């Protein structure tokens, strides 16, 4: 049997394909790998393979109960590009001392830490999920929920609490407390004590009237 050349995988398609193969008994995997790949490539007209192509193949040719299992596992891959995680782990290594860096990198890429990503990190680094979860919930910087469009961090440092006579911190907090588009949090001292009261909006620290001007542009 001739080897089928690897197609170009787009998005999560590669991870989906591997998940699909994972359901095949190990002994038969090499044969199935070739067969399924050529089916998928036919579906994609020998072009780039996308998530939709793999999904369609599963829907059409895989029998039950494998089909439901695979589709369920597809959901666990999450709605982000799982390849990012592979790449980050390759860069940072699989030892536990790299775990914080891995989590930071994932959060930088995806914006938060979806549970699917934690699961992937746990299995790829061989660190128990409970340990990963322990870390993520201990350190305040990690977020388990998808953040809103904007993030406002209100400095809760001494100087900011002391100098905020006009009450801009409470004003901002109350204004966005119920907003879905804006995440608001009080944080450790931002280290900009001379500009107290300091408020960080989308990664940039603002102070005094600059806060008000910036906030108007958010709405």
Please give the residue ranges that form the binding site for another protein (CB under 8 A). 95-101, 104, 134-135, 138-142, 153, 156-163, 187-196, 198, 200, 203-207, 210
As given in the structure block, the two tokens for residue 78 are 């999450």
Closer residue to another protein (CB): 78 or 157:
157
The CB-of-195 to another protein minimum distance in angstroms stands at 4
Closer residue to another protein (CB): 1 or 204:
204
The CB-of-184 to another protein minimum distance in angstroms stands at 15
The CB-of-204 to another protein minimum distance in angstroms stands at 7
Closer residue to another protein (CB): 42 or 134:
134
Closer residue to another protein (CB): 32 or 142:
142
Long-range own/partner contacts, residues 66-71 (CB < 8 A, 24 or more apart): 66/23, 69/23, 70/19, 70/20, 70/23
Long-range own/partner contacts, residues 214-219 (CB < 8 A, 24 or more apart): 215/172, 215/175, 218/150, 218/181, 218/182
Residue 98: C-alpha distances to residues 83, 89, 90 (Å): 18, 9, 11
Q: Who's near 26: CB < 8 A, 6+ residues apart?
A: none
Closer residue to another protein (CB): 117 or 198:
198
Closer residue to another protein (CB): 61 or 161:
161
The CB-of-118 to another protein minimum distance in angstroms stands at 14
The CB-of-78 to another protein minimum distance in angstroms stands at 22
Question: Of 16, 5, 116, 4, nearest to 59 (Cα)?
Answer: 16
The CB-of-163 to another protein minimum distance in angstroms stands at 7
Pairwise CA distance, residues 73 & 100, whole Å: 26
Pairwise CA distance, residues 213 & 59, whole Å: 52
Three-class SS state of 82: helix
Three-class SS state of 5: coil
């Amino acid at each position: 049997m001739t080897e089928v050349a690897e197609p170009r995988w787009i998005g999560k398609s590669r991870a989906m394909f591997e998940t699909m193969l994972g359901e095949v008994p190990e002994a038969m995997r090499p044969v199935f790998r070739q067969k399924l790949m050529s089916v998928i490539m036919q579906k994609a007209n020998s072009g780039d393979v996308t998530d939709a192509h793999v999904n369609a193949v599963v829907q059409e040719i895989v029998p039950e109960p494998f089909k439901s299992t695979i589709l369920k596992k597809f959901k666990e891959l999450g709605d982000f590009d799982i390849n990012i995680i592979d790449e980050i782990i390759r860069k940072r290594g699989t030892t536990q001392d790299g775990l914080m860096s891995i989590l930071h990198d994932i959060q930088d890429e995806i914006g938060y830490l979806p549970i699917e990503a934690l699961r992937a990190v746990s299995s790829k680094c061989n660190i128990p999920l409970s340990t990963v979860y322990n870390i993520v919930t201990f350190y305040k910087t990690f977020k388990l929920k998808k953040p809103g469009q904007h993030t406002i961090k209100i400095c809760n440092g001494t100087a900011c609490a002391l100098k905020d006579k006009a009450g801009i911190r409470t004003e901002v907090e109350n204004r966005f407390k119920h907003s879905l588009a804006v995440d608001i949090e009080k944080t450790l001292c931002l280290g900009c004590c001379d500009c107290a009261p300091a408020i960080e909006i989308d990664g940039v620290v603002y102070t005094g009237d600059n806060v008000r001007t910036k906030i108007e542009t958010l709405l």
